[in-house]
Structure 1
Amino acid sequence: MTDYVGLTWDHPRGRNALEAAATRLTGPDTLRWEVQPLEGFESAAIADLARRYDVLVLDHPHLGDALAAGCLHPIDDLVPAEVVRRLEQGAVGASVRSYQLGPHLWALPLDAATQVSARQTQALPEPPTTWHDALDLADGGRLAMSLAGPHAFLTLCSITLSLSGESSASVFDRPVAERALEIMTALSTNLPHDTERLNPIGLLERMRTVGDIDYIPLVYGYVTYSSPALAFGPPPQGRRTGSTIGGTGIALTRRSTPSAALLEHLTWLLAEETQRTFIPAHDGQPSARAAWTDPAVDDAAYGFYSATRSTMETAWVRPRFAGYIPVQSQASAIVRAAVLTGRAAGDALDELEELLTHRPEAV
């Protein structure tokens, strides 16, 4: 008998389906889930967590550190090749590819998400379609930006991608990156009070409950906040849609040996039928394209999936080199300070270049 312990993130989307599904393990093996805040999910040292937990819900940029520490089992060494092929063929966007590094798949793509726009439908029946349109809303004091934690940098990457029209973001295409930073600064000149301190959950919760935010041009989509009053959709476009993929994967640590029962349970979570039924019914945000294209799933989510699927399908995958997480945090601090203080875009980009340019997968 093995009592496995897993770690996920503390939000209905992150915990409810996993906790409800864990009751399926009724044999000699059990799985108990603990939770950490969103900030821990985004930034906690993966090797430390792997020493304490058997199963980890993680973000793909942690993979470089995880491989450097040798703390994860390759998923494709544990499950049949046909399962991996099914996931590769059936997942929405880069949900599988984001967890592939070197010759292996390192996590099962449980949850799919990317940056999209969010709006109060009464104030904005239709979302702005261009960055020029979004800038027209900035003076009203009811446009918020996702700037806390790593999100200022991720927003810069996505706007740069949108303006450049390229398939991968580069903050070192200087004219484009400078224009992206200028757009962020202009959008941030009259933010609702203290919203720059809020993570995506806090922004969307405030949007739903306080009602002083009408629009967020780039924020990670959360199906649990979708309603007739709060709608998600594509972000504003430049030459193309720009968005940075998020989502979550389930990884197995080398702290223990996963049993056949545990592996069956985790692959069940990724089965198409589970993704279309059980996961959405328990506040989850599935990774299977079959769920994202199911009219019943979409209707129950007030059109969340149909409105954001095209953005999800083209979202950019962040670098995954060892040491990326603190670099991402430092880069975001540089961007956040620049957009909130009006610092010259060129000076901020000089600092970003010094931070990033010598990395093996520099952004």
Structure 2
Amino acid sequence: MSAPFTGLTWDHPRGFQALEAAARANGPVHWETHPLEGFESAPVAELCERYDLIVLDHPHLGEAVSSGCLIPLDQILEDNDLQRIATSSVGLSYASYQYQGHQWALPLDAATQVMAARTDLMTTAVPETWEQVIALSQTQGGVALALAGPHALLSLLSIAAALDPKADLREGDRWIDAAVSCEAIKILATLASHSPPSIQALNPIGMLEHMTTSDDVRMCPLVYGYVNYANPTLSRALSFLDAPRLSSGASPGSILGGTGIAISRHCKFDDTLREHLLWLLSDSAQTDFIPQQAGQPSALKSWRDPQLNQRWNGFYANTLHTLRHASIRPRHNGYIAFQTQASARLREGLEGGVSEHRLAQDLTTLFERSHRDQGRKN
């Protein structure tokens, strides 16, 4: 008998393997997949016409809420269930799906930008600060940046978060301070000028795949953490560590990622689906079932679990501090287009040697335009 609900998730083992395993165990959702960048080719509202559940990341909330294609979860789930999930989730994973007074998704998966290293290729201590990262890049090389797709801007935002940890951009009503933006671009430019050419077109998955199959990259200071590449059985397993800091003892700068399960407006939500979602966010599923199926949990208890850390080369414990301090990026309607445009402008500027002051101004202009453009559409 076919499952009564259809869901869409992303096509990496971390994104689909646990959900498909749950479906095979008589779960009520049939899952299909699309690329990680799939929302750029098909808007959330369009996908919600075809699916009951959507696995998305929080920056798409502005677009989704504006289109009215999602059901607020606080209207279909009990307050005590939502409070339990909020309390058990790591860092701002749960809060990242709160927008305009409602909860729009459940944090199935938690991730943020951290440092990935081939410690077998390191002849000195792994850097902890941006100054040390730059020094390693200039003296030994093999320090790579993942700047493809939206990740040029996301790397800039992470460096800016290290420089100005109190800045809160989540509501989309402010942008990075100009001086902070200039300093972050300067750091990016310095590292980009020494980054190996073999990785220039790679997204985070491509970067991590490259690091586990080649030896020309010893360290990437900012890349979204994937527990799959910390597997000790890999011939070149990676070590994942906290993102760089401005100085020793300061907070690491990082931009929250991860994914959440949202419910489309046309879904005929029932108790069977409710029980299934609550199980996916339960301690047992988060600490046992999901990690056993190549997934990456969102529960703090799971990230602290000694057995999970032993199994995955300390991935969770070694990056937990960064995840707990990770910042939420803007989520206003228009942000996704801005993220794409700003990343392209950053790559162009870094390659062409454009000054940090000019690039910072260009990013501010694009950010302001993202609000004006949506205002005209609405």
Secondary structure of 1:354's partner? helix
In structure 2, C-alpha distance between the alignment counterparts of 1:43 and 1:135, rounded to whole Å:
36
TM-superposition CA deviations, 1:228-253 (whole Å, max 9, x none): 54100011111531100000000110
The change in CA–CA distance for 1:167 and 1:204 in structure 2 (over 3 A counts) is same
Residues 1:212 and 2:223 are matched in the alignment: no
Of 300, 304, 313, the match for 1:289? 300
Secondary structure of 2:96's partner? helix
Q: Which stretch shows the higher mean deviation, 183-192 or 41-50?
A: 41-50
The change in CA–CA distance for 1:76 and 1:10 in structure 2 (over 3 A counts) is same
| Contact residue 56 and residue 253 of structure 1 kept, 8 A | yes
Q: Which stretch shows the higher mean deviation, 42-51 or 250-259?
A: 42-51
Secondary structure of 2:200's partner? helix
RMSD: 1.9
TM-superposition CA deviations, 1:306-352 (whole Å, max 9, x none): 10001000100011111111111111111122222221111111111
Of 12, 24, 29, the match for 1:31? 29
2:53 alignment counterpart: 55
Residues 1:232 and 2:240 are matched in the alignment: yes
1:66 alignment counterpart: 64
Q: CA deviation at 1:141?
A: 4.0
Secondary structure of 1:311's partner? helix
Of 309, 330, 335, the match for 2:341? 330
Structure 1 letter corresponding to 2:91: G
Q: How does 1:174-253 map to 2 (within 5 A)?
A: 174-228=178-232, 229-238=237-246, 239-253=250-264
2:375 alignment counterpart: none
Gaps of 5+ in 2: 373-378
Secondary structure of 1:57's partner? strand
| Contact residue 163 and residue 240 of structure 1 kept, 8 A | no
| Contact residue 25 and residue 261 of structure 1 kept, 8 A | no
In structure 2, C-alpha distance between the alignment counterparts of 1:3 and 1:186, rounded to whole Å:
53
2:359 alignment counterpart: 348
Gaps of 5+ in 1: none
1:119 alignment counterpart: 117
The change in CA–CA distance for 1:277 and 1:41 in structure 2 (over 3 A counts) is farther
| Contact residue 160 and residue 176 of structure 2 kept, 8 A | no
| Contact residue 42 and residue 59 of structure 1 kept, 8 A | no
Of 299, 316, 327, the match for 1:316? 327
TM-superposition CA deviations, 1:170-200 (whole Å, max 9, x none): 7542222111101101101132224121110
In structure 2, C-alpha distance between the alignment counterparts of 1:98 and 1:131, rounded to whole Å:
27
TM-superposition CA deviations, 1:71-123 (whole Å, max 9, x none): 00111211221110001111000010000112211101100000000000112
Q: CA deviation at 1:284?
A: 0.5
Q: What's the TM-score, normalizing by structure 1? A: 0.94
Q: CA deviation at 1:23?
A: 2.4
Secondary structure of 1:110's partner? strand
1:84 alignment counterpart: 82
